[in-house]
Amino acid sequence: MYCPKCFNNTLHLAPRGVLQVVINGKQMDAGRLLYNMDGKEGEMLRDLRVKIEDFFKWYSNFKNKEPIQLVELMTSDMKCDNKCAIPGGLRLDVVDLLIDSTTIKNIMLELSTKYKMTITFKE
C-alpha cells in the first residue's frame, strides 16, 4: 500500500494490532478485536465471528434496519518501511489483506438466517 507521507509503496499492516468491525458504516463500542498475524488464523476467525454475531444481535433490535451491504475491518496499525509517522486518524480497511472477503461473507450469510437479517453485498 502507498504511504500517505512519503507516497511510496512501503506501507504494510503491522504484525499485530486492533481491528474495528464496521458494518454499513455502523460500529459498536465493543466491536474491536485483536489480531496477531503470527498466531493461529482460526482464533482470529472465531473472534471475528463473535464480533459479527454481537453486531447482529444489536442491529436486529433496530426498528428501521437497512440491508447489510458493506463490511469493513478498519485498523490504524500500519507501518511504513521508511519509518514515516502515520497520522493517528488514518484507518484503512484490511478485508482481503488479513481475512478473505469470501470467508467474511460466509460467516455473515450464516448468521443472517439466525437473526433474520437481509444481506445484499455491494461488490
- CB-count exposure of residue 89 (10 Å: 0-12, 13-18, 19+): exposed
pLDDT above 90 (res 39): no
Q: 51-107 pLDDT, tens per residue? A: 999 999 998 888 888 899 988 999 999 999 999 998 888 898 998 888 899 999 999
pLDDT above 90 (res 10): yes
Query: Is 56:117 a contact under the CB 8 Å cutoff?
Result: yes
pLDDT at 122: 76
pLDDT at 20: 93
Contacts of 38 (CB under 8 A, 6+ apart): 15, 16
Supply the mean pLDDT for the chain. 89
**pTM for this structure?**
0.82
Helix (H, G, I), strand (E, B) or coil at 45: helix
Mean pLDDT, residues 25-30: 88
pLDDT above 70 (res 123): no
